[in-house]
Amino acid sequence: MNISIGELAKRTQVKVPTVRYYEQIGLLASAPRTDGNQRRYGKAEVDRLNFIRHSRELGFEIEDIRELLAMTAEPQASCHQVDSIARNHLAEVTRRIESLQALQAELERMIAECGRGRICDCQIVEALADHGKCMGEHAH
């Protein structure tokens, strides 16, 4: 396989500027270039970019992906560190879900208290202007 950056982007559903960015930050090795200065990629880059894309879709941070990729270079090593990264990410996702649920509850309360009258009497506007009028624990 000897494909262009455009074809790599198409096969992996990653935009060309993102491919370049991943090369720039070292997640993807700089591609060899033709005499015409075009980048050329093979199956290994397709596989690696698919791994990166899927990891990003699951919300993993760039540094975690960097570590995970480094670990894949040692296939016989223990997966304890991979498990640890995934567990830490799960804990963060759980924390964000809880935060979003608190935010949802506060917004539902604000909307329920709205008298649908005039702006000057609007409970939603008052709550947005004064965090002290919020009832629940949400990020501020």
pLDDT tens, residue by residue, 74-116: 989 899 999 999 999 999 999 999 999 998 998 888 888 777 7
The helix or strand, by DSSP H or E, that contains position 68, with its residue range, turns out to be helix 62-72
Q: What per-residue string of b and e applies to 11-37 under the rule 16 or more CB within 10 Å gives b?
A: bbebeeebbbebbeeebbeebeeeeee
Q: Are 27 and 60 spatial neighbours (Cβ–Cβ below 8 Å)?
A: no
Tell me: the pLDDT tens digits for 41-75? 999 999 999 999 999 999 999 999 999 999 998 98
Predicted confidence at residue 120, as pLDDT, reads: 72
Predicted confidence at residue 139, as pLDDT, reads: 54
Q: Cα dist. 78→41, 73, 92 in Å?
A: 30, 12, 23
Predicted confidence at residue 6, as pLDDT, reads: 95
Q: With 90 as the cut, is the pLDDT of residue 128 above it? A: no
Cα–Cα distance, 19 to 16 (Å, whole number): 5
The helix or strand, by DSSP H or E, that contains position 109, with its residue range, turns out to be helix 80-112
